[in-house]
Amino acid sequence: MEGKRVKLQIWDTAGQERFRTITTSYFRGAQGILLVYEVTDQSSFNSIKQWVEEISNNADKNVSKILIGNKCDVDPSARAVTKAQGEALAKEFGMQFFETSAKKDIGVSDAFSCIAKQVVARLNAQQGGSAGGKSAPAKVELKNAPTPEVKRGGFC
C-alpha cells in the first residue's frame, strides 16, 4: 500500500456460539476486524450486534471494523437481508460496508484493502503523536516493497 509492505494475518474465527469464548481472545491483539454475515441468513445478520458488543468489550477501543454482507451473488429471491439493511447497520456502528461474493471474487479485495488502509492510517496517526488507543504498538513496521504480481482467482 502506497509503496509499503503490509502483512495481513487473517483468522477466520467462525460465528457459531460454540466458538464465542475462544473468539473473544482473538480480539485482544487485533488491529482490524471484518464482521461478516450471509445475505441469505437473517440470523447471521442479527448476530452482528452481539459481535460488535463483544468487540467493544474485548478489543482495543480504536480497532478498525468493517461490515461485510457475503454471498451477494445469490438470486435476489434467496436474500434474507437487503443491501440497504446492511448499509444501515454499518452506519449505526460507524463502519464501512461491503457486499461480497467469496465464490465469485466480488468485492473481496476491496474489503481487505479497505481494512488494511484503515489500520495503516490509524497506526501511522498514532505514531505521529495523535491521541490513540493505549494498546497500539510503539512502532509499526511498514517496509518499502515492490508491488507483487497479483494472481486473480476465486476464493474457497
Q: For 107-116, what is each residue's pLDDT tens digit?
A: 999 999 999 9
Classified by CATH at the fold level, domain 31-127 comes out as: Rossmann fold (3.40.50)
Contact 34, 98 (CB under 8 A): no
In terms of DSSP H, where are the helices of the chain? 20-27, 42-46, 48-58, 83-92, 108-127
Q: How many CB atoms lie within 10 A of CB 125?
A: 14
Q: What is the pLDDT of residue 139?
A: 34
Q: What is the pLDDT of residue 80?
A: 98
- The predicted-structure confidence for 57-104, as pLDDT tens digits, reads as follows 988 888 999 999 999 999 999 999 999 999 999 999 999 999 999 999
Mean pLDDT for the chain overall: 80
For the chain, the domains span: 31-127
CA 149 to chain centre: 24
